[in-house]
Structure 1
Amino acid sequence: MRHIIAWFALLLALTSPALADWRDDVGTLRVGFIAGDNPAYEVARLEKFRSYLHYALAVPVELFPARSYEALIEAQSTGRVQYTVLSSLAFLALDQRCVCAEPLVQPTTADHARGFRALLVTKSDSAITSLADARNTRIAVGAKDSLSGRRAPFAGLASEGIYPESYFLRIVETADSETALRALIAGEVDLATAWSSSSEPLSPAIGSGPLAVLAGDGALSPSTLRVIWQSELIPFGPHVVRKDLPDMAKSRLLQALTDMRNTNPDAYDAIERGYPGGFVAADPVLYRHLAEFLNIAPGKD
């Protein structure tokens, strides 16, 4: 029955001049996403998502696989695609480049969190109880381009007048937050960067972050850790559309995406399996605050 209704809606849209105007302006909606080294597989995996948008908007939808965020930013800034799935940092980079796009929706967790907080943690029996106590200690961090593992914590430290390269005795780069936390547990460092989407940063709730993963594996108990700093909310990466997309297209897309988890969970899982809470309308203020926090200058019209 659902497919019959979808086909009827498509037929109505294509045969009604009044309804077809904005669709004529859109033509084919091109959706860009990160596909890694196997784009054919990823395009096939996202077919349910593509098909859902096709029927919901009654316009042709094409997937644009890209190997990197830089390629997606270039494609959207030049108009090759009208819609991209970006990380928060990639969206800020796009906004710096062209101010030509806007966040439409963002995914949420099972607890309906819109983002996460970056953390600095130590052992609960450590003498470190504040940032002031952390001078000349060893800290495990993420890679240079990691938002949660390095950029956000270092921005937070800078706002306190702390410059990590001279403040800490040793900075240990790790692959991810789980690895950083394991180094802390093993006594190889005194502090570690981490993150959590829970309102309680040391919560072991499934899906809330690396602390929960390690607690679930029996590698640690949250009670053995202490948080000495946490950031404000950092939003999850948005689905972004060009500003010159017709307003009716944006409205229909917003409705289709926020309905997706309930009306077609397979389509939603195809594009956002890691965020089971569904889409909500994006809050641009969260991304502006993130840019200010990271000291990223806004783009110019």
Structure 2
Amino acid sequence: MKAALKTWTALMAVNGAFCCGPAWADWRDDIGTFRIGIVAEPGAGNTVPGLAVLTQAFTNALGMKVEFVVARDYAALIEAQANARIEYAIYSATAYAAALQRCECVEPLVAPVDSNGAAGIRSVLLTRDGKLPGLADMETRRIAMPPPDSVGGSLLPLAGLAAEHVRIAEDAPFLVHAPSASAAETMLVDGEADAMFGWVKAAADGQPRLPGGTQARLEASDLSASALQVVWTSGLLRYGPHAVRGDLDPEAKRRLTVFLTNLKSTTPDVYDLLEPKHAGGFMPVAPKDYAAAEAIVRMVSVDGRQQVLQQSLQGIVTLLRGRR
């Protein structure tokens, strides 16, 4: 009897190894090394401040080997994630939207906020002393517009108005193309323009304005706050997300989200290394939060604005055109 029991136990152990072994497989084993893509700051080459500290922090959060991959620009970062060479990427808002258009394989996890709660920017059409009563009167006024490298003052308003069926041609006679955002502000202050496109910081809860941006700078100049009126406000352009491949294991996504949303409170020094520009911590985000960024990328890719893509998207739209 004992011999039979030992034989049965041995057979069950063998069968368990064959039938149930794969259940022991872990998503970490499938990935091997978790690779995080990041674009270095201009002039920094392939260096990222605090890289060893960041690598260890992500290693602890995921329980696996982590490696940072420094891309030369966002176009290279998009290609790396689209081709599954990296699992995780830190994008600008428009770069994320371009990545989504490239392969629909990316998913935003979190995005930073400012210490005052700002989650991004909104474009605004500002006038002084009521000179522009409404959008219907634009063609009879002079409206200053910053160059394309001012996303909030150029790309966002053009895309946002088009979504509201108010399409403005780049060569519209009522537009006065300023060489810089500050030059556009000067035109409004000096009376050379009746209105201008600019931007304001905004929270995610619909609050239209927080300190900072074009309106604050104008109010700090010779224009009083009472002299300025907001004629139109766009949707929110969120700060750029940390995004993963959509096919990443749900447990990995959960671990990353928990790690990132708690990072500011648990290890603020690591947070400052990972996100030096926005001091308020990370918030979970969803694809719908980047509708404004998607509208910008669609507009640029359809219109073929070469100057726009060179100045603001680092050749991303060129990449997209080559893949369509």
Smaller-chain TM-score range? 0.7 to 0.9
2:43 to 20, 27, 37: 37
Deviations 1:91-137 (A, max 9, x none): 111111111110111111223343221111121x1421211222143
1:133 to 132, 137, 144: 137
Counterparts in 2 of 1:147-296, with a 5 A limit? Answer: 147-158=151-162, 159-165=164-170, 167-176=172-181, 178-198=182-202, 201=208, 203=210, 205=211, 208-212=212-216, 215=219, 220-288=223-291, 290-291=293-294, 295=298
Question: Is structure 2 residue 73 aligned with structure 1 residue 68?
Answer: yes
Identical counterparts, % of pairs: 38
CA contact (8 A) 2:37 2:68 kept: yes
CA contact (8 A) 1:195 1:201 kept: no
CA 218–161 in structure 1, closer or farther in 2 if over 3 Å, else same? closer
CA contact (8 A) 2:124 2:233 kept: yes
C-alpha separation in 2, matches of 1:202 and 1:292: 21
C-alpha separation in 2, matches of 1:40 and 1:292: 31
Deviation for aligned residue 1:219: 6.2
2:100 to 95, 102, 124: 95
- State the partner residue of 1:59: 64
Does 264-273 or 138-147 show the bigger shift?
Answer: 138-147
Q: What residue identity is the alignment partner of 1:37?
A: G
C-alpha separation in 1, matches of 2:158 and 2:91: 22
C-alpha separation in 1, matches of 2:179 and 2:59: 42
CA 27–143 in structure 1, closer or farther in 2 if over 3 Å, else same? farther
Deviation for aligned residue 1:235: 1.8
Counterparts in 2 of 1:104-143, with a 5 A limit? Answer: 104-123=109-128, 125-143=129-147
Question: Equivalent residue of 1:122, what SS?
Answer: strand
List runs of 5+ in structure 1 lacking aligned partners. Answer: 1-17
TM-score of the superposed pair, with normalisation by structure 1: 0.79
C-alpha separation in 1, matches of 2:64 and 2:86: 14
CA contact (8 A) 1:181 1:193 kept: no
Question: Equivalent residue of 1:44, what SS?
Answer: coil
Deviation for aligned residue 1:140: 2.6
Question: Equivalent residue of 2:148, what SS?
Answer: coil
Deviation for aligned residue 1:256: 0.5
CA 165–242 in structure 1, closer or farther in 2 if over 3 Å, else same? closer
C-alpha separation in 2, matches of 1:179 and 1:264: 41
C-alpha separation in 1, matches of 2:68 and 2:58: 11
Question: Is structure 2 residue 54 aligned with structure 1 residue 49?
Answer: yes
Deviation for aligned residue 1:45: 4.2
Deviations 1:127-172 (A, max 9, x none): 2121122214333323335431212211233334342446443431
List runs of 5+ in structure 2 lacking aligned partners. Answer: 1-22, 302-319
**Bigger radius of gyration, 1 or 2?**
2
Does 52-61 or 78-87 show the bigger shift?
Answer: 52-61
Q: What residue identity is the alignment partner of 2:63?
A: A
CA 59–213 in structure 1, closer or farther in 2 if over 3 Å, else same? farther
- State the partner residue of 1:85: 90
CA contact (8 A) 2:144 2:177 kept: yes
C-alpha separation in 1, matches of 2:294 and 2:100: 10
TM-score of the superposed pair, with normalisation by structure 2: 0.74
Equivalent residue pairs, number: 276
CA contact (8 A) 2:263 2:281 kept: yes
